[in-house]
Amino acid sequence: MTRKIFRSILLVAAVTLLASLIVILGIMFEYAEGLQEKQLRAELALAARAVEQSGADYLAGLSAGDDRLTWVAADGRVLADTSVDAAGMENHADREEIRQALETGDGESARYSSTLTEKTLYYATALSDGSVLRISTSQATALTVVLGMVQPIAVVALAAIILSAVFARRMAGRVVDPLNRIDLEHPLDNDAYEELSPLLNRINRQHLQIDEQLRTLEQKTDAFEQTTAGMKEGLVLLDDKGMVLSINPAAQRLFGTDGSCVGQDFLEVDRSHDMSVALRRAMADGHSEFRAQQSGREYQFDISRMESGGSVVGEVLLAFDVTEQASLERSRREFTANVSHELKTPLQSIIGSAELIENGLVKPEDQPRFIGHIHQEATRLVALIEDIIRLSQLDEGLQAALEPVDLYAVAEEAVSALQEAAKNRGVRLSVSGKHAHISGVRRLIYEIVYNLCDNAIKYNVSDGSVQIVITDDGRHAGIRVQDTGIGIPAEHQSRVFERFYRVDRSHSRQSGGTGLGLSIVKHAAMYHGATIDLKSEPGKGTAISVTFPSESGADEIPS
Ligand code: ADP
């Protein structure tokens, strides 16, 4: 800007100087011309009077100086001339000034030399005898004058331009200095130039607007950070170069990093091949996802491309902990495989026996045994299908209405249903304790008691016993089924609640077990928010307790 102002001032000064010089020269030239004309006319008047009196003698007596006098007769003949011999001169009747003088008494004209650098001025006046006296002088043209003054003009112009340059530099500095000192942080505190007020006001308004926008942005950022800080899922925002823009605490924990990774390449935070492939794929296709193990848990990573105004601005990565979901999916897959296997075994056994009978390969006396076998396997199959249906209902989140349930009454009902089976195996059944009331689904609680008692009978010894004790301490109500059976070895105790897990497969099959009884107990207990406790000693017996949150106080049972 300083340079621009400097150049402008200098240019104005130079143009002004040039224009002034031209005007001054013009005026001077015109003044000189006027003066010369006046002098010549005065000289001509004097000479005319002298020629009137003395004739050609006067002219002969004059020396040939700057101004030349020519006396011309009325017919144009040159009578005398102060510079040239008149006899040798041609007729002057056609000369402009002579013609005018002959016609009007006075005449004048000017003629340029061939180089245009010199001009001859002619003034003529008629004498009383009809002849004409002419005076002429050469005059330098304006061009000659200018050419002659080039040197002094150049010196003056140079001096003026140097002065202008110094002045222009100072001026430019003085103009720009207040502008340089303007404090744009506080636009209204400046008093540099009045003309700048509208601009400074506008800057001030923009400052206020920017401050407002910054405040809003900060509020939004805070809200975003607070929201993402509370998220269970890991969230990472990346820019279009893959640099971390934001990473929430869950993602920091997951990738074992902290907030300092913001601004870093995300592939330095997670160097896995799967991650780099997924990020590239999301950039290309818009979305990608993959699962990976991280810190002993399974995560699902969903990556989406972010776009704004038609151009890619980055990627957003969401990490979900799917450990439970994955294990559920795994156990579902295992369950399906197990169900197929469990259903196939009794069916193959039934088909095998039926084929033998059909082909007459079974002796008539053996037929009742085979038919009994078919019946037993079919019964097992039905029991198995019923258990599968029960478990599926529990898996799908059974929506049954809660009702007041008396655990003691349910236990008595189960005992009466199993009395026959217990008698057949030589096992004694007894119920004791209190009438404990809970809020629950009666059918499910019956399943719990029935399955626990059924196992206690199945895995008992002859002349053994099963004791069902109902407890209630005011805060918790519970059922304890205690037997004197074969017990469960310690290494199996944590697994017997898994689907189709059996300690002794053949014993279970023999006694019509499906391998699902304790799974049903576990799910039914979970449905009621109850806890299960198993205590068992091989060869001595097993005690399984299910503890429910109690609904009301218990009534003592008279012994
Ligand atoms: P099953 O139909 O085979 O009885 P469960 O799920 O009810 O299936 O039981 C799983 C396994 O746990 C049984 O196969 C058995 O080995 C063991 N078990 C369950 N209850 C008892 C018990 N009271 N005494 C000894 N073993 C038991």
516 close to 500: Cβ distance less than 8 angstroms: yes
Written as one string, the DSSP assignment of 140-189 is E-HHHHHHHHHHHHHHHHHHHHHHHHHHHHHHHHHHHHHHHT--TTSGGG
Q: Please tell me whether residue 109 adopts helix, strand or coil conformation.
A: strand
Closest Cα to atom 16, ligand 1: which residue? Answer: 503
Q: From residue 179, give the alpha-carbon distance in Å to each of 201, 307, 411, 500.
A: 15, 42, 97, 89
Residue 12 CB neighbour total at 10 angstroms: 12
Residue type, 402: L
Written as one string, the DSSP assignment of 467-514 is EEEEEE-SSEEEEEEEE-S----HHHHTTTTSTT--SSHHHHHHTT--
Q: How far is the CA of 326 from the centre of ligand 1 (A)?
A: 27
| 255 ligand 1 Cβ < 6 A | no
482 close to 466: Cβ distance less than 8 angstroms: yes
Q: How far is the CA of 15 from the centre of ligand 1 (A)?
A: 116
What are the 10-residue block averages of pLDDT along the chain, 559 residues in total? 81 86 83 84 91 85 78 91 86 92 92 73 92 86 70 84 85 82 83 82 92 95 89 94 95 92 94 95 96 90 94 95 90 87 91 94 93 93 91 82 94 96 95 93 95 96 96 93 97 94 85 89 94 97 93 50
Closest Cα to atom 7, ligand 1: which residue? Answer: 517
Residue 558's pLDDT is: 47
Residue spans of beta strands (DSSP E) within 329-462: 403-406, 428-435, 437-440
Q: How far is the CA of 518 from the centre of ligand 1 (A)?
A: 7
Q: From residue 447, give the alpha-carbon distance in Å to each of 74, 278, 313, 523.
A: 162, 48, 58, 10
109 close to 97: Cβ distance less than 8 angstroms: yes
- Using CA atoms, how far apart are residues 547 and 36, in angstroms rounded to an integer? 140
Q: From residue 272, give the alpha-carbon distance in Å to each of 242, 255, 275, 294, 346.
A: 14, 11, 5, 11, 49
In sequence order, the 6+-apart residues with CB closer than 8 A to the CB of 428 are 422, 464, 465, 466
Angle at 494 between CA 446 and CA 329, to 5 degrees: 80
Strand 311-321 to 531-537 pairing: unpaired
Scanning the structure block, which residue is given the tokens 């169900």?
339
Helix (H) or strand (E) holding 90: none
In sequence order, the 6+-apart residues with CB closer than 8 A to the CB of 450 are 414, 417, 418
Q: How far apart are the first and last CA of the chain?
A: 111
Q: Which residue of 429, 450, 460, 518 sits with most ligand 1 atoms within 8 Å of its CB, as the best mutation to test the pocket?
A: 518
Strand 465-472 to 428-435 pairing: parallel
- Using CA atoms, how far apart are residues 552 and 399, in angstroms rounded to an integer? 23
In sequence order, the 6+-apart residues with CB closer than 8 A to the CB of 92 are 70, 72, 76, 77, 78, 98, 134
SS (H, E, C) 272-328: CHHHHHHHHHHHHHCEEEEEEEECCEEEEEEEEEEEECCEEEEEEEEEEECHHHHHH
Phi, psi (rounded to 5 degrees) for 440: -165, -170
Closest Cα to atom 14, ligand 1: which residue? Answer: 502
In sequence order, the 6+-apart residues with CB closer than 8 A to the CB of 71 are 51, 56, 59, 78, 79, 80, 81, 86, 131, 132, 133, 134
Task: Enter the DSSP assignment of 340.
Answer: H
Residue 559's pLDDT is: 43
Q: How far is the CA of 512 from the centre of ligand 1 (A)?
A: 11
| 488 ligand 1 Cβ < 6 A | yes
Q: How far is the CA of 330 from the centre of ligand 1 (A)?
A: 23
Q: Which residue of 508, 511, 542 sits with most ligand 1 atoms within 8 Å of its CB, as the best mutation to test the pocket?
A: 508
Pair of tokens at residue 179: 């502008």
Closest Cα to atom 12, ligand 1: which residue? Answer: 496
Residue type, 450: Y
- Using CA atoms, how far apart are residues 441 and 538, in angstroms rounded to an integer? 33
Q: From residue 9, give the alpha-carbon distance in Å to each of 23, 167, 168, 318, 430.
A: 21, 9, 5, 65, 120
Atom of ligand 1 nearest to the CA of 456: 23
Q: How far is the CA of 497 from the centre of ligand 1 (A)?
A: 9
